[in-house]
Amino acid sequence: MEQLIKIMSEIRPDLDFEKETKLIDDDILDSFDIISIVSEVNEQFGIEINVNDLLPENFNSAAALYDLITKMLNE
Amino acid sequence: MINNCLQYLEYNALNYGEKLALADESFSLTYKEYMEKAKVIGSFIAKKTNSTTNSPIAVLIDRNIASIVTFMGIVYSGNFYVPVDALMPKERIELIYKTLNPILVIDARQKDVSEEGTVKYEDILDSSEIEEGLLKSIRDNAIDTDPLYTIFTSGSTGVPKGVCVCHRSMIDLVNSFEEAFDFKHETVFGNQAPFDFDVSAKDIYNALKVGGTVQVLPKKLFKMPKMLVGYLIERKVSTLIWAVSALRIVSDFKTMEDGDVPKLENIMFSGEVMPVKALNYWMDKVPNARYVNLYGPTEITCNCTYFEIKKRFNDDEMLPIGKAFKNTRVILKDEKGAVIKEKGKVGEICVMGTCLALGYWNNKEKTDAAFINNPNISAYEQKMYATGDMGYYNDDNDIVFASRRDFQIKHMGHRIELGEIEVALNAIPNLDVSCCLYDKENEKIVCFYQAKEECKKEIVMELSKKLPKFMWPNVYVHYEELPMNKNGKIDRVKLSETFKKSEEK
């Protein structure tokens, strides 16, 4: 989780990812952020988040994204 | 005689009143409803301002059809609209208002938000009625060189510039588009571009010209591309006039599966150079659509050249920007002002015709610098807009974009002056001086800054108060002292080389 927060904060230093829970619904992240986060996460965690995983419920919070990553790592 | 864009709306309301004109995620309007609501807003403004005309009215926009209706309402009042994204930092909005001095601000956003000193869209509709006599007298006095809208764009000195476009230029655009691309009554335009970008004007006015439909696509779809493709299918979208970056979201994530693709007739793009690889993905998935590369800055009313893609290009080839639209003249000019005819020689792309904007609102100096008199004509005056884009002719006599003459860049579909970012950066207390470059290959804005200590977080927090998100640098490189060149200026060449080397590692 710490690593993920670090990745996300590096891309958007202005946000507190421990607290935000509506990153997509409230239009906080833009498409550039999503692309940057996905490519960093894929690289650092060695997974392949693909287009089917790009859903609001997976990206609304760092915790949700972390669940997705954990799920993919266990598969 | 067509001399006002509202005539298109009125023709459709009269002849196809029940046809779906506008739709967003939650609402929709027929042509008749569209016109009536716009007339109510127009009447309200005329009464409130004592029939002031040709003055700016700002609109706080959203991804909704209320924004479009408000635009037309303002046009009914004989004034012109200025779309403003309320999500922009306050300081930037104030900077725009200072230049603009709007006589009124209308808030077209959803119900539950409001802003002091503005009038809500719903409140106008609830409280006002159509005053046909008043609207008629306004129209009787209108001419086609009256302003239609003003759209603000990045300015190198830190102050955004308002490009002011008149009715005649837009009438010219929709006529040349209809002729080039035969849009039809059945065409459904899937609007991607925010309303404060003139790309969206092509959806609004082309639809009005042919009596088509505009589907305003919700912003979140462009982060979740699978949902986007589903929405295009569901809403029966047939035509995309999009920023390159938006089309690339679909191709980069390989979103479409065979059999699950939208039925598209026209796929048109502009804003930056389309990578052939992304284009080929689309052409594989949606093979029967017409693909068009559109080119042009806001100052010449959306687009001045187009190139229809009729063959396959290789991944490493450049797509030409093509040839001029009808009733538009595009030339290449060398440093001495002479017209370039030979192939391969690079010159500045210059544009002439009815498409030229009236200028930058309330900024004579910038207007005179960019809208010059054609140096090759002395017997009469012909205005010419020097784009700052450099191009050359290929073997087919199509123009190919080569580079920029200055520090303007295209990033994620946005036109940005690096100078404007630097002005904002240099105002930050703990930062001595800065310099921004664009890393084209990785599509990132790189900020080199001189400060005693690394202070990225502070920089981003400060920038977020002044600049819209798309202007924030993506990479920060801290220097205790930035390298200088012989002229005592920051050495951009050296910074760029050092950065490239560090990236290669």
Residue in chain A lying closest to B471 (CA) = A32
Strand blocks (E) in B279-327: 290-295, 305-308, 323-324
First to last CA, chain B: 64
Average model confidence (pLDDT) across chain A: 92
Give average pLDDT by consecutive 10-residue segment, chain B, 505 residues: 97 98 97 98 97 98 97 98 94 94 95 86 96 98 98 91 98 96 95 96 98 96 92 97 93 83 94 92 95 97 97 91 97 93 96 98 96 93 96 97 92 91 93 93 93 93 93 95 87 91 81
Would you state the pLDDT for residue A58? 95
* DSSP states along chain A: -HHHHHHHHHH-TTS-TTT---TTTTT-S-HHHHHHHHHHHHHHHT----GGG--HHHHSSHHHHHHHHHHHHH-
| Of B109, B21, B18, B9, residue with least CA distance to B58 | B109
Instruction: Tell me which residue in A24, A25, A51 faces B225 most closely, judged by beta carbons.
Output: A51
Q: Which fold has domain B327-404?
A: Luciferase; domain 3 (2.30.38)
List, in sequence order, every residue forming a beta bridge with B436; answer none if it has no partner: B447
The CA distance from A8 to the nearest CA of chain B, in Å, is 13
**pLDDT on residue B399:** 98
The DSSP element (H or E) to which B20 belongs, if any, is strand B20-23
Whether A52 and B225 lie within 8 Å, measured CB to CB: no
Cross-chain CB nearest to B469 (options A30, A55, A59): A30
**All structural domains of chain B with their residue ranges:** 327-404, 408-504
A54–B224: do the CB atoms touch at under 8 Å?
yes
Give A29's contacts in chain B (Cβ within 8 Å): 223
The minimal CB distance from B222 to the residues A13, A31, A36 is found for A31
Long-range CB pairs of B435-439, under 8 A, 24+ apart, other chains included: B435/B482, B435/B490, B435/B492, B435/B495, B436/B473, B437/B492, B437/B495, B437/B496, B437/B499, B438/B409, B438/B411, B439/B475, B439/B499, B439/B503
In chain B, residues with a C-beta closer than 8 Å to the C-beta of A35 are 249, 252
Distance, in angstroms, between B223 CA and closest chain A CA?
5
Mean pLDDT across A22-42:
91
* Portion 7-66 of A in contact with B at CB < 8 A: 12-14, 24-25, 27, 29-32, 34-36, 50-52, 54-56, 59
Chain A residue numbers touching B225 (CB-CB < 8 A): 51, 54
- Cβ burial, residue B208 (10 Å; 0-12/13-18/19+): buried
Instruction: Residue A36: list chain B partners with CB under 8 A.
Output: 474
| pLDDT reported for residue A38 | 93
B408-504 maps to CATH 3.40.50.620: no
Q: What is the pLDDT of residue B110?
A: 83
Give contacts of B249 with chain A, Cβ < 8 Å: 31, 35
- CATH number for A2-74: choose from 3.30.70.1070, 1.10.1200.10, 1.10.357.10, 1.10.3720.10: 1.10.1200.10
pLDDT in tens, A45-60: 999 998 889 999 999 9
pLDDT, residue B276, reads: 94
Structure tokens belonging to residue B107: 């808030």
CB contact under 8 Å between A55 and B226, yes or no, is yes
Q: Interhelix angle for B199-210 vs B167-181, to 10°?
A: 70
Quote the CA–CA distance of B218 and A27 in Å, as a whole number. 11
pTM over 0.95: no
A50 CB neighbours in chain B (<8 A) are 253-254
Strands B347-353 and B383-393: antiparallel
- Report the pLDDT value the prediction gives residue A72, as an integer from 0 to 100: 93
To the nearest whole percent, how much of chain A has pLDDT over 90?
A: 81
